[in-house]
Amino acid sequence: MDRGVSTAIIVAIILLALALMLLGWRRRAARQGDIGAPRPVPATIGEASIRVPVLYVATTRAGDPLDRVAVHGLGFRARGEVAVHPEGAVIAIDGREPWLVARADVRGSGRATWTIDRVVEEGGLVMLAWRLGDAEVDSYFRVTDARAIDATDELLAALATLAPSIPPEESPETPAPTERHPS
């Protein structure tokens, strides 16, 4: 084979792989047609009690941190901000319109260690459990504030005012802690 034929074969394989990835993403989005669109932020909203810069990691179906939600622009990681208002949490992600997770839709919040394509130190992610239309979802954020530990605690405390906190889930690789009894 000459160099031109080899190059054409490699380019064809790469284009086929990209086409199959695009097809898979579109099928995922079609399967998630039952997931409603996030609410826009109302024109008038109360003052935020806290604003924290974050890396938006993912939104997944509730209880399944490996099932990424691909619809309504929720499928892509980006920098942004989470602000907690009396009406709920406003999520402002770079590149898309901010949305409101209304207080009535918040199911809880807590810490997480992993979700799809992201593993961090124990409890390094903030998880917001909420209802998106009729679907229950979990959104994951990584606080990017220079004082990340304090900012994470402050964000979790503010989110807890919207709904009860959820204890961090054990990752499948992490055994449950055992009690130690004095001998």
pLDDT at 168: 53
pLDDT at 148: 62
Q: Give the global pTM.
A: 0.76
Q: Comparing 5-14, 22-31, 49-58, 137-146, which segment has the lowest mean pLDDT?
A: 22-31
Query: Domain 39-160 - what CATH class?
Result: mainly beta
Asked whether the beta carbons of 52 and 145 are under 8 A apart, the reply is yes
User: What are the structure tokens assigned to 180, written together?
Assistant: 């130690």
Count of all residues that appear for the chain in the document? 183
Convert the pLDDT of each residue in 118-133 to its tens digit.
Answer: 777 778 899 999 999 8
Give the DSSP letter string of 47-73.
PPSEEEEEEEEEEEETT-TTSB--STT
Asked whether the beta carbons of 141 and 126 are under 8 A apart, the reply is yes
User: What residues does each domain of the chain span?
Assistant: 1-31, 39-160
Report the chain's C-alpha Rg in angstroms.
Answer: 20
pLDDT at 131: 93
